[in-house]
Amino acid sequence: MNSPFYWLKHLKPLVVKVKRISIGALGMAFKECKQNPQEQARALDSVLDGYVQGSPSDQNALDIFKGEWSSQLPGVWKKLKAGTATLFEDGRILWAAEQLGGFKGQRIIELGPLEAGHTYMLESLGAESILAIEANKRAYLKCLIVKEILGLSRSRFLLGDFVSFLRENETSFDICMASGVLYHMHNPCELIYLMSKASNKIVLWTHFYDKELIQTKDIVRGKFSGSIPKTYNGFDHVLYKYTYGDALHWTGFCGGSSPYSYWMPREDILACLRFFGFQNLRIGFEEPEHVNGPCFAVVARRD
């Protein structure tokens, strides 16, 4: 049997070797991380760029995403520099309120709030609560900035995929709001089905595919590449592949979560709504000549 000192005798050289390796590796790591003075100065500037030197202001918060805003803020906040789209004073939301007898006291789920423009309007029109789900990280943070500046108190913003949320959802909402999201889906028919499970009232605004109208639009004409037949949950329809292209290079991009999506024709959208139980359909804000492709708004009710 080996003596008690046998292992100690053989372990000592091994410990020395490990020490040498560790010290050597540590020295190499320090050497690799060492920066010259210019690199250190650039790194320091980059870190300090994250600080605001002036007095606190709403504009400071908006400028975190300077050049990326789509929307112009409403009312007394119009003097602040953001975007140009009037999504905080959107006639489509007022029209939808008329069709549904108002939003007062309603529990609403909003899919893709973008910059909280419609969320603000829903609160202003008396909604009891708004649960807004946004998958785009930058758009989500912009919603939180707007929530703070405008003082939204009955709205909650969640970061994540609303399709995944709706697949697991067991809560019933008074209204499901889906403005500007259907044409960003891979499976738009599934979204309509999931909305039908969440609410008996849907407010929808979307672009739709129409070959003749699309061919007259230079901006979108070259972004379509073929069609595929599709059946979802018993509903047969056709989808048209749309590719975002150069739009993906803008940091303010507000499309879907992949490089492409699928559009549905107008009649298929309406037929899909009826298929899943919405027989009362009211159509408004139809723009066949919209620069980004034909579009319309639909208020759908299951009576």
pLDDT digits (tens, 9 = 90+) for 205-233: 999 999 999 999 888 989 999 999 999 99
Higher pLDDT, 212 or 7: 212
From CA 303, how far away is CA 282, in angstroms rounded?
A: 13
The pLDDT of residue 245 is 74
201-207 sheet: strands from edge to edge? 155-159, 129-134, 107-111, 175-179, 201-207, 295-301, 280-287
Residues 64-68, mean pLDDT to the nearest whole number: 95
Q: What percent of the chain has pLDDT over 70?
A: 84
266-293 pLDDT per residue, tens: 999 999 999 999 999 999 999 999 999 9
pLDDT band at 1 (very low <50, low <70, confident <90, very high): very low
- Quote the pLDDT of residue 254: 66
Q: Quickly count: other Cβ atoms within 10 Å of residue 246's Cβ.
A: 7
pLDDT score at 44: 64
pLDDT (tens digit, 9 = 90+) per residue, 120-160? 999 999 999 999 999 999 999 999 999 999 999 999 999 99
Q: Tokens 């999506």, residue? A: 261
Q: What is the value of pTM for the model shown? A: 0.84
Confidence grade of residue 15 (pLDDT, cut at 50, 70, 90): very low
DSSP 3-state percent helix, strand, coil across the chain (nearest 5): 45, 25, 35
Calpha distance 186→256 (Å, rounded):
9
Instruction: Find the DSSP H helices in 56-187.
Output: 58-62, 91-100, 117-124, 137-150, 162-168
Place of tokens 């091994």: 14
88: which 2 tokens? 């905080």
**What local confidence, expressed as pLDDT, does residue 246 receive?**
72
pLDDT tier at 259, thresholds 50, 70, 90: confident
Please compute the mean of the pLDDT values over residues 59-75 and round it to a whole number. 96
Q: Give the separation between CA 88 and CA 83, rounded to whole angstroms.
A: 11
Q: What is the pLDDT of residue 36?
A: 75
What pLDDT is attached to residue 42?
Answer: 72
235 CB neighbour count, 10 Å cutoff: 17
What sign for the dihedral angle of Cα 297, 102, 302, 193?
positive
- Domain 59-301 is classified in which CATH homologous superfamily? Vaccinia Virus protein VP39 (3.40.50.150)
